[in-house]
Amino acid sequence: MRPDSVLARRRFLALSASTVGAAALGLSPFGRLLAQAGLPAGRIAGFGPLSPVADATTGLPLLKLPAGFSYRSFGWSTTPMSDGRPTPTRHDGMGIVHAEGTRLTLVRNHECVGDGSSFADAAMTYDPDVDGGTTTLVFDSSSGELLSSKASLSGTVQNCAGGVTPWQSWLSCEEEVLGRGRTTFGSRVVDLKHAHGFVFEVPFDGHSSAEPLVAMGQREHEAAVVHAGSGDVFLTEDADPFAGFYRFIPEVKGELHRGGTLWMLKAEGAADLRRGHRTGDRFKVSWVPIDHPERGIGPEGKGDGNVREGLANGASAFLRLEGCYAHSDTIYFTSTSGGDAGCGQVWAYDAKASELQLVFESPAQETLYYPDNLAMSPRGGLILCQDSYRKEAQSLFGLTPQGGLFQFAENNGIYENFHGLTGDYSNSEFAGACFSPDGRWLFVNVYTPGFTVAITGPWKEGLL
């Protein structure tokens, strides 16, 4: 990691790291920052107003951006990759797993749910009759050009989020729990050769072995991040009405395929964390075992086997856990629809102190509605993907260390017979946001119709 990137992280997290010790002040700095997210008083000019900007690749005004910013799209669904295969659809989670000079390697999830068969060779295919998985992209940050793209994992189902590991790989997580045998995807009937609902690892310099990390559990996975100090993996579960926050302790640090033990968080004195708590509330944490992580299918045939076991052992219930971010000893994660208003919560777990704190809870849609992914800029700000269900164009927001929120980008995707597309796709969400190590490029996916953009421009210290 570059020194300027390290300093930027410290600058922003100097505010948010006080989360675990600031309950007496009411909202923590990070909580105040989020609390202002939808309020007029919290809005700042940022980079200025947005207007349509033509894509350097297609010439189409796919995004609205501030003055001076430009972008280029690549990796469109159905277009040929370097390996000759068509690019899969439903671009979701993504991360930069390796950087060598100006060559950046990204791994991108495709949240396909059984619309077709594997898009990869047999060596990297888990179940041949389903079409989720990952593609690996190499981007030249000097020229701004995509150098190559290829399949790296397929035969999985609904690969939603995941996370980058310190040993330069990507953890790709299935969000659908299925058993072996006959199942139906819409009108399509498939005989699955394997069970689904697992995590798979994809190295930066090749392809996945397509072997599930069964010890990490079978459930509706969302994100997975590594606590660098211990090598433990913290995982979120996008489930309703009950979800768990999990910790996987590997037998050997950095070698997840060797197995390990799975645990679920227990907040002392709070069996239910979905409702009824206030910003600043803190809880001592212990961990209860999940003795049968491979039993993801519960007694009613639902994918709730892990969370049922955890709750029976005394663990605490969350609601729809999605985004997850690790820095030093603090693991931040979001409950997309948690809280008394059902609009979202942000939690922080201190791995050193074994404490959990409710950093922020949104009181209304106008404040913050359904928080999901976030990424950090080397200059000290956050880029926030807000996964709103409102019938409006989806946006990216910038969030400054001082608490100001500004709209940075808006989906402007209205197509007229482009790649066979016609219609308004502006309500399609952004996903997989991540910055290049030098901070010059912001990469982000547009889920549907499925493409990646690299955005660059006059970034500013303290904004993005």
In this prediction, residue 320 has a pLDDT band, given cuts at 50, 70 and 90, of very high
Specify the amino acid at residue 153.
L
According to DSSP, the residues that pair with 290 across neighbouring strands are: 262
Which pLDDT score, from 0 to 100, does residue 42 have? Answer: 52
Which pLDDT score, from 0 to 100, does residue 223 have? Answer: 93
In this prediction, residue 190 has a pLDDT band, given cuts at 50, 70 and 90, of very high
Which pLDDT score, from 0 to 100, does residue 7 have? Answer: 43
Q: What is the pLDDT of residues 71-80, one digit of tens each?
A: 999 999 999 9
Q: For residue 12, what are its two tokens?
A: 């922003």
Question: Percent of the chain, pLDDT > 70?
Answer: 89
How far apart, in whole angstroms, are the C-alpha atoms of residue 171 and residue 289? 22
Q: What is the pLDDT of residues 215-240, one digit of tens each?
A: 999 999 999 999 999 999 999 999 99
In this prediction, residue 372 has a pLDDT band, given cuts at 50, 70 and 90, of confident
Residues 6+ apart with CB under 8 A from 53: 61, 63, 64, 65, 69, 70, 71
Specify the amino acid at residue 98.
H
How far apart, in whole angstroms, are the C-alpha atoms of residue 141 and residue 104? 7
Burial of 112-137, coded b for 16+ CB within 10 Å and e otherwise, reads bebeeebbbeeebbbbbbbbbbbbbb
